[in-house]
Each structure stands twice: as C-alpha cells, then as structure tokens.
Structure 1
Amino acid sequence: MPRTDYDVVIAGGGMVGASLALSLYGHSKGDLRVLVVEGFPLPPVAESGVPAYRPSFDARSTALSFGSQQIYQTLGVWPLLQEHLSTIAKVHVSDRGHFGSVLMTAESQGWEALGYVVENMWLGNVLLNHLRQHSNIEFLSPAKVSAIHVGDGYATLSLQEGENQRDITTQLVAVADGAESGLRNQLGIAATVADYHQLAVIANVATEQPHKGYAYERFTERGPLALLPLVDDGSGQSRSALVWTFPEAMADEVMAWSDEAFLAELQRNFGYRLGRLQKVGQRASFPLQLMQAEEQVRRQVVVMGNAAHSLHPVAGQGFNLALRDADSLSRLLAKAHSERRALGDLNLLQRYLASQEVDQRLTTAFSDQLTGIFSNRQPVLSVVRNLGLLLLDVTPAAKSRFVARAAGIMPGSSAESL
C-alpha cells in the first residue's frame, strides 16, 4: 500500500471526533498516526495536565450511558471525567394525566449508575487535553477539510488554514463534521430524513429540592420532556438539564414566553417532584429530525457521529451510539494496522459496519418508536401505553432488558453481566 502522511484523518474535532481519536490511540497503543482537523480554535493545553473547570448555570450537557462509562474507563479518562459529573441513580418515566409509570434503578441492575450527565465543555476539554499530550495525535485548528479525493489505496485531502491551503494524504478519512455535514454532501452521500415536526427546547432549571440523582422522563400532551440531574454550579442550588419537545407550530410562541411563563408551564406539566421550579437559564431550540446517511463507508472513507445518524434526543441515545461506533471502528482498525492491512479497504470498513448494524438499527428504532408512542395522544393508544408502563414496572425481566437497551448494552455482551 502507498505511504501516506497519516493513517487516519478525522474531519471534526467535537466530542465524537475527539473520542474517536482517543479510542484509536488507546486501542493501537499509540501506533496509529492520527490527525484531527477542527474548525474552531482549541483551548490551550493545561500545564498541570488537568483542564480548568469553570461552572456555569447555563452550561450544556450530555447524558452518558452506563455503556459509555465502560468505554471511557477502558480508555483511561474516566477518573478525571467523573470529578465533575452527576450520577443518574434512578429514572422515573411517567405519562402526564394517566396512571402508568415505571421506576428504573441502578441498584436493581447491580450497577453503580444507570448513566451520568456531564457538561459538554468539561467532557470536550478532558478529551482534548488528554489527546494533545500524545505525539502521535496531531491537531490542526482552526482549519477545515475543504475537499476529499479518493485514490487507489489512499485519499488526498485539501486542508484550508486561513488563507493557506495544502494537500495531505491518508489511508482513511473519518467524516465527523455534524448532522449538516458539508463533506458528506460533497461526497454525494445522500441522507434519509424523517421530520418529526417537533421543536426541542433545552435549558437548565434550578429546583427547590435536590434531585438526589433522579432523572425524569415525562410525556405530556405537547411532547415528551426530560429533566436530568446536574452537578451544583457552585452556588449551592440544585440544577437539572431540561429537554422539552413541542409541536413545530409552537416554536415562536414558546421562545417568546417570559422566564416566569415558561417555568409556570413547565411546573404544570412536570409537577412538584422537585418542589418549586425556581429559575430557568438561557433557552435554545432546534428542529427535530431522524437523519440517517444512506452510506456510512466507502473506500478510504467512513462517516461517523451525527453525520452518520442523528436521533431524537428523547431517549438520550445519539452520542452514546456514536461512541460505541467509534470504539468498534477503532478496535478493528488497530487490529488491521498491527497486521499491516490497508485501513481504507472497503471490505474492512464493511466489516465495521456489519458489526454495528444491529446496534444502530435497534437503537434508532428504540428512539424513533419511543418518540412515536409517547407523542401520540389518541385516547385508545394512551390506555395501551399506560398499561405497558404498568406491565414493565412489575415485570423485572422485561424492565431489566429495557434498561440495558437504554444503557447501550447489547444482549449477550460482556457488559450485560456486570
């Protein structure tokens, strides 16, 4: 195979791209030459080896599943990550105005936690700081991959750094530049989009009572809402991260509500499980779609993260699925590299895709069906849905399987017996 500048180039240095680079480094024991190209300036490397933690009430967060914790533990970054994250000990699922509910606990699974909530800034800084201490991982920032040309056993990438442009070669390029991926579009890879005609509103909420590690998933007549436990922001006030979906026709109305009106409507829909809702932070909104790339692998190319599949946030599955994809791909590439096999070989990349096909299909269906079931307010379906919640709550085996699926653990995997 031809000699290239890099073994793998990752186009996109966000949480997925950084996790992929970390996984490639870990599984190859630093033997792969990796370049990460990121459009935004990166924070400086902490001289102490530990990035600064700057608490903010408005910080955006990500829910990490139990399965994701296992991956980061294996890669050696979990001890630092867990210094500033909140543990999900219990998840309460309910349907407003109906009798059905289910309580899922880490204790019943024999786990330390069902999942964790980490601020995006802390997660990103920990990953980047860890990676940039390793000589075999290079970062180019701010810069972008402006073009990809696939050759025989290699790909040539055009890199744009300000006014300067140069070409490099790599065995494999991982496209991880987000759901609106310009590189995916440039390669002519189509995407299938299912529009939910919904709007997600995200914000942090201060509550009268401490969350005690509870996460809440509540289905309302307008759409599902989730409240996830957050670490204290330093003020001593308990915080939870809110994701609330509305019909897209309400977009302007909801974003125009005053903080007082928003909190009052949230209190009416959520109830008083956390006492009075005292403060809401800066709100943001985005339209909801299920997007799936029609191709995830080609010769010398693999599409990752939201560029490959972007899911509804109701079940918190998107980033965790992307992390499992990255872990699976990295293991396969590290083994192939040790055997001196071409990393961009289509047969090899198809093996990766086949290994993740069941996980991707089940996770996508789980998220999509959950959204459909709980967004439909027809009376007959409401009765069936709530009977299902009741049945799930009193059937330990079924509940255990449901929790494992939500935690990103595939049936039969070694993690299932942890």
Structure 2
Amino acid sequence: MDDKKDLLILGGGLVGMTLALAAAKKGISSHVVDRADPAELTDEGFDGRASAISTASWSLFRNIGLADRLEPHACHIASIAVTDQMKPGRIDFQPESHEPSLGRMFANRELRLALFEAAREEPLIAWHSRAEIVERHRDDFGVAAILADGRRLEAALMIAAEGRGSPTREDAGISIAKWDYSHRAIIAGLVHEKPHDNVAWEIFYPAGPFALLPMLDTESGEHRSALVWTVSESDAAGTLKLGDRAFLAEVEKRMGGMFGEIRSVGPRSSFPLGFHHTARITGQRLALIGDAAHGIHPIAGQGLNLGLRDVGTLVEVLDEGLRLGLDIGDAQLLARYERWRGLDSFMVALATDGLTRLFGVPGQAASAIRRAGMGAVERMPMLKRWFMDEARGVSGDLPELLKS
C-alpha cells in the first residue's frame, strides 16, 4: 500500500496537475493517477493544439511558480477581433493601458512540459502515470483507488479530473445535463506568409466559428497560428480527408487573405462539440473539477480557464479548512466549494451556449442584426470593458491564487 495522501486526483491533465501543484504550495499532498503516457503527450512538434491562458489563469501559474518556465513559450494576445463573416461592424478588444496583453497563447505541449517537470520536482506529489484504475472507494473515513497492478492508493478526498467522460463522476451517480451541437472542431497548426501581429481572430460563419489564434514564430522566423475551425458533423469527415492543398484553399477563403499565403498545415485533429453541466460538483469526499464538472463550447476559449478557476477556488477552500483544523474531506468545505463555483461555472456555460446559438442563426437579416449589435458594443466603452474583464477572468469573486 502506498502512503496515504491528502488528495487522490484522478486525471493528470492540465487541470488535474495544476491542482496538485497548487495544493502542494499550501502543504497539501496528492496522489495523481493518469492512464496516459507523459512521453506521448509531450512529443516534439506543433499540431495546433493550443490554449488561451487568461489574465487570472496566468496569475495562478505565477503564484504557484510556473511563470518563469512558461513565459519564454508565451505568445501575448495584443487584441481580439470578433467579426461576422469578415463584414463591417466588428469588435476589437484591446487591453487597458496598465495591462500588457489580454492573455497568452501556449501550445498545449509547452503547458504539459512545464507542469510535468514541476510535478517531478515536488515531493508532495506522487505521480502514477500509465495507470489503470479498476476500483474506486469512498466512505466516511477516506477514499481509495485500486490500480490494475494491485496497488491501493489512499487519501482523504477524491478529485475527479478525468475530463468530459469522467468515470469517477459516473461511478458517483452524479446526474448531468448535456446536449450535442452536431458540430466538430477541426484543429491544425498553420504557417503563413504575413505576421499575425498578436491578434486573435474569432470569425463567425453560419456553419460555426472560425478561430485563428496567434502563436510564437518558429526559430527560423516562420509565422504561425493555431486554427480552430467549427464545421457541421456531416461535413467533418470530408473536410478532414481533404488533401493539404484543398484544405488550405478552404482555409484561405475564410481568412480573406489577411495572413497572405498559407504555406503549410500541420497534422489535423478533431473533436465533437457539446455542452454538459453537472447537477452538483461534490459528493461524499468527492469534488469535480474542469471538464468533469462542466464542458462548454470553445467559442470563447474559456474551457481550460474555467477549470483553473475551479483549481484556485478548491485549494483556497481546503487550505482555509485545514488551518481551522477541519478534515480535508469535510462536508462543510465541499459545500463551500459547491456554492462558490456552482453559479459562476453555470453562467459561463450558459453564456457560451447562447453565443453559439446566436451566431449560428443563418440569413442576411440575422447577420445584419448581429453586426449592428457588435457595432454598438464597440461604441460603448463600459460595456466593452465588462466583456474584456469576463474574457480575462478578472470579474466576480476570485480566489487569492487567481489575483495578481
């Protein structure tokens, strides 16, 4: 039997491993169990899988000591352009004079490398990779997971961090509201002729959003962006099968030539788009974080940031409870986490769902109304600032770890 830890984190992805590191900064120990092979997740090469890290999420990384590792790999977002089919009436979001950027873009590989390196150096984290869980146990006295090789890992609190299809959530019998958008996001890395000028583009077409996210240039000076292109499920297979030349022609058509020639495209991947939100995010000695608790459309790039807000909140709640002498799995602590995160995550989920449906309405009249609305927002500084604060994650009741 392995030594007992405070937390048993099931899922060692970006959110789960960040939780382990943030908890360790407060003296909270963790078992982290993940079925993936870290070497495969950190393979060389840029495949387009990237994440936008908001201002608040960057504060979290800085406060747990990851900023120095990550900053050399960050591409700052100088502005965000939102447009309906590249027609007049777009919104341009720009940072306040005291803010260096609206956020940072990272290749997911770089985020994983930084997290994994830090986890290997942290004595309070016991990392069990390439591990299969065959049993989960929770009772009044603690939690445990039995691995396929017979090891039994024990802790005071179980964390479900396995993502959208969380088996821990299913095992706990937590109900979930969900629906399928019948769309698929196609992801690829692009190399292009002209610089992106650190602008993140969200271009809305009736079939779905078409996002171009700025990435750092290559060492040889080639300009790069990450593409997230939403297509209907019925068109996805055909789009993925296009040859590089035909695929790039379709991409260039939707970009309106803003980056000049698209010189190459990396490996393409895709995932189905859907919405889900759990009825609750806690159970007996159990807390859900990240996509195990809420899955949203990538339309505003808030999925990972929402999970990192879960991390900051849960760590603050547990740390305060321990300082009061409470058991880390105490129901009072979990109830506070539920109250703090439940409404915020639900409102963000509803907002992204509403945007998805609003911009999916076809027709010239609908497009004209949307563009008129965006033009009005562009002319209203206070409303525009509110949208920017939401995107940066700095509104509402933030935990200390997410404050600058």
TM-score, scaled relative to structure 1: 0.90
Give, in angstroms, the shift of residue 133 of structure 1.
Answer: 1.2
The aligned residue for residue 4 of structure 2 is: 5
> Does the Cα contact within 8 Å between 2:252 and 2:262 map onto a contact in 1?
yes
Distance of 1:414 and 1:326 partners within structure 2: 9
Aligned to 2:85: 96
**Mapped contact 1:205–1:239 kept (Cα < 8 A):** yes
Aligned residue for 1:48? none
Pairing 1:60–2:60 present: no
Question: What are the within-5 Å matches in structure 2 for residues 201-216 of structure 1?
Answer: 201-216=186-201
* Whole-Å separation in 1 of the counterparts to 2:152 and 2:399: 43
Unaligned regions of 5+ residues in structure 2, if any?
A: none
Residue among 35, 38, 41 paired with 2:37: 41
Cα distance in structure 2, aligned partners of 1:151 and 1:368:
37
The equivalent position to 2:249 in structure 1, one of 264, 273, 286, is 264
Selected match of 1:222 from 178, 203, 207:
207
The residue number in structure 1 matching 2:118 is: 130
State which drifts further: 407-416 or 201-210: 407-416
> In 2 relative to 1, CA 413–305 (structure 1 residues): closer, same or farther, beyond 3 Å?
closer
| Uncovered stretches (5+) of structure 1, i.e. residues with no partner | 45-52
CA offset at residue 271 of structure 1? 0.8
* Shift, 1:75, TM fit: 1.3
Pair 1:313–1:298, CA change in 2 (3 A)? same
Residue from 375, 380, 386 that aligns with 1:395: 380
Q: Judging changes above 3 Å, is the alpha-carbon distance between structure 1 residues 417 and 383 closer, same or farther for their aligned structure 2 residues?
A: farther
**Larger displacement relative to structure 2 (308-317 or 339-348):** 339-348
Residues 274 and 296 in structure 2, CA contact (< 8 A), matched pair in contact too: yes
CA contact (8 A) 1:55 1:233 kept: no
Q: CA RMSD in A?
A: 2.1
Distance in 2 (CA, whole Å) between partners of 1:304 and 1:414 is: 15
Distance in structure 1 (CA, Å) of the matches to 2:165 and 2:343: 25
1:182 to 2:167 alignment: yes
Which is further off, 142-151 or 296-305?
142-151
Percent of aligned positions that are identical: 31
Q: Which residue of 1 aligns with 2:139?
A: 151
Partners of 1:413 and 1:303 in 2: CA distance: 18
Contact 1:43 1:125 in 2 (8 A): no
- The 2-side partners of 1:261 and 1:248 are apart by 19
Matches within 5 A, 1:75-86: 75-86=64-75
> 2:377, 2:383 within 8 Å by CA — same for their partners in 1?
yes
Matches within 5 A, 1:102-113: 102-106=91-95, 108=96, 110-113=98-101
Q: Distance in 1 between matches of 2:358 and 2:347?
A: 16
Three-state SS of the structure 2 residue aligned to 1:165 is coil
The match for 1:49 is none
Displacement of 1:118 in angstroms is 0.7
Which of 103, 111, 117 lines up with 1:115 in the alignment? 103
Q: For the residues of structure 1 that align with 2:140 and 2:264, how far apart are their CA atoms?
A: 58
Q: 1:72 aligns with which of 44, 61, 71?
A: 61
Indicate the residue corresponding to 2:24 in structure 1: 25
Work out whether residues 11 and 144 of structure 1, in 8 Å CA contact, stay in contact via their aligned partners in 2: no
Distance 1:379 1:417 in 2: 43
Aligned residue number for residue 47 of structure 1: none
Q: What is the CA–CA distance in structure 1 between the aligned matches of 2:280 and 2:131, rounded to whole Å? A: 25
Q: Give the Cα–Cα distance (whole angstroms) in 1 for the partners of residues 319 and 399 of structure 2.
A: 21
In structure 2, what is the equivalent of residue 317 of structure 1? 302
Report the alpha carbon displacement of residue 352 of structure 1 after superposing the two structures with TM. 0.6
1:359–1:410 CA contact under 8 A, matched in 2: no
Contact residue 221 and residue 375 of structure 1 kept, 8 A: yes
SS at match of 1:326: helix
SS at match of 1:177: coil
Moved more, 296-305 or 95-104: 95-104
TM-score w.r.t. the length of structure 2 is: 0.93
The letter for the 2-side match of 1:135 is P
Match of 1:373 among 334, 358, 376: 358
Q: Hey, what's the Cα distance between the residues in 1 that align with 2:28 and 2:398?
A: 27
Query: Which deviations, in whole Å up to 9, do the C-alpha atoms of 1:319-361 show, x marking residues without a partner?
Result: 0000011111011111212222112122211101211123212
- 370-379 vs 315-324, which moves further: 370-379
Matches of 1:41 and 1:289 in 2, distance apart?
26
Which sits farther off after the overlay, 150-159 or 74-83? 150-159
Give the count of matched residue pairs: 400
1:272 positional shift? 1.8
Give the CA deviation at 1:413. Answer: 5.5
Report deviation, 1:228. 0.5
Q: 1:96 is aligned with what amino acid?
A: Q
* Match in the other structure for 1:50: none
Q: Is the CA contact (8 Å cut-off) linking 2:188 and 2:266 kept in structure 1? A: yes
Contact preservation (8 Å) 2:46, 2:107: no
**SS of 2:83 mapped into structure 1:** strand
For 2:145 and 2:161, locate their aligned partners in 1 and report how far apart those are by CA, in whole Å: 14
After TM superposition, the structure 1 stretch with the greater mean CA deviation from structure 2, 378-387 or 259-268, is 378-387
**1:148 offset after TM fit, Å?**
1.7
